[in-house]
Amino acid sequence: MTIQLRPRQIKAVNDLRAAYQSGARAPILVAPTGFGKTATAAEIVRSSTARGRSVWFLAHLKEILDDTSARLRHAGILHGHIRAGMRVDYSRPVQVVGVATAVRRPRLPRPDLIIIDECHLAVADSYKKVIAAAGRPLLLGLTGTAQRLDGRGLGEVFDRLVPTCSTAELIEEGLLAPVRVYAPPGVDLTGLRSRGGDFDQGQAGELMSKPAVVGDALSHWRKLCRGRRGVAFCTTVAHAQAVADQWRRAGFRAMAVHGGSDDRERREAVAGLRAGRLDLVACAQLWIAGVDVPEIDVVIWLRPTQSLTAWLQGNGRGLRIAPGKRDLIILDHVGNCGRLGHPLQVHEWSLDGRRKQQREQSPSVKVCPRCFATSLSAARACAECGHVFAPTERRELQTVEGELVELAAAARERKREQGSAQSLEQLIQLGRSRGYKNPAAWAKYVLAARQSKGQWSKVQ
């Protein structure tokens, strides 16, 4: 079956051909979730095999390999498999290849082109070994986020970026679901350690598994998401199981899946959401990438992350359109939106790496104090409730189990909290707990203001 490419996909194919013709040997097609990267790559495969060339699709996740194989079959492209547990047929010019399997099988037929899905992973030693053993063929990288959390540059493997469009443009064209992001007050992450460049998920799991936190997430599900189908990204296996248990006790249909789940459980999670047998799947170590369930219309973040790739790809699980689907609701209980930017924010990618001490600067987002919907920083009013943002308005909220906190009550609590801090050291500690960039300067300002107020009172 021949797949009819959309105009943007046709342009992407032509841009890739132009890149190769101008001397590139390893370009990256940078396109957001829902663009149709695999369909675009399938046209490259068709064109290559028509010229007598052999092609590999290389990926690390079983879910990605299965999905790629299904899409190739749908496109009428016969292929073999180089994967554990799969029958080998090297006579096929197209192979779907698991990187772990290819590392263990050094004497494989050499392809003319390797297409690498989730290619931001390709600077890892395992990928480099596979590429070197294949005789250094032409490469084509596919990704929606051309950067790594550890700061290593993709220029170690690739030599050209071929950009396409933004998520917002695909939404405007009706190819992706509109997005509504809510950032209700969640757990205090002050003091959360980092490990391997991201938050320590074990420690985060202890924080996020508290009944008050899980209950708060459930209360917002009840308020905003009844009748929807969602995925909750959790920190640990135990956390995912606790979330699924909480949802079931509340009368919802839920299950947990994680990296140790067997194939039957993983298939049931996908099939259950697609068929409407499940309301929620709580995930740990899974589903950030490689799962295509267009019926998902809620993404819940109970996993704090510093990875822009994880943030954008996780949200992408709910962006695809489906019959009867109105939009995607994102509930961010862990501040990912504030750290990493709004899901519709446009990013500038580069093949160059970043020093570890360099932090990516992302424009701030606005959180509505009435309904907790987030907006891009340029917004003048909340798109959900119409609240007009004041020029210096900030989100000043505290968490109360199961309820949205009114701004006035939160302001009174913060004023009381600030008034109880009398010394400079106490104010500095309070500024740190609130996440201020320069708590010492803020504390000195507060003390100076108090002294000035006292002197003015005496004059009066």
The ranges assigned to domains in the chain are: 7-165, 172-376, 421-459
Sequential DSSP letters for 261-322: --HHHHHHHHHHHHHTS-SEEEEES--SSS---TT--EEEE-S----HHHHHHHHHTTTB--
pLDDT of residue 459: 31
pLDDT tens figures, 45-59: 999 999 999 999 999
> Model confidence over 58-91: pLDDT tens digits?
998 888 888 889 889 888 899 999 998 888 889 9
Whole-number pLDDT of residue 452? 44
Predicted local distance difference test score (pLDDT) of residue 398: 34
Domains 7-165 and 172-376 share a fold: yes
Angle (CA) 309 311 314, round 5° = 100
Regarding the domain delimited by 7-165, which CATH topology (the fold level of the hierarchy) does it fall under?
Answer: Rossmann fold (3.40.50)
pLDDT at 394: 41
**How confident is the model at residue 399, as a pLDDT?**
33
Stronger pLDDT, 324 or 450, i.e. the higher one: 324
For the entire predicted model, the pTM comes to 0.73
pLDDT tens-digit series, residues 166-185: 999 999 989 999 999 988 76
Q: Which CATH architecture has domain 172-376?
A: 3-Layer(aba) Sandwich (3.40)
Write out pLDDT tens, residues 13-38: 999 999 999 999 999 999 998 898 88
Please write the tens of the pLDDT for every residue from 121-170.
888 899 999 999 998 899 999 998 888 877 788 999 999 999 999 999 99
pLDDT digits (tens, 9 = 90+) for 286-337: 777 767 899 999 999 988 888 888 899 899 999 999 999 999 999 988 888 8
CA separation, residue 304 to residues 89, 293, 316, 348, 399 (Å): 43, 23, 17, 23, 17
411: phi > 0 → left, psi -120 to 50 → alpha, else beta; which? alpha
Quickly state the pLDDT bin for 434 (edges 50, 70, 90).
low
CA distance 139 to 143: 13
**Could you tell me the maximum CA-CA distance found in the chain, to the nearest angstrom?**
94
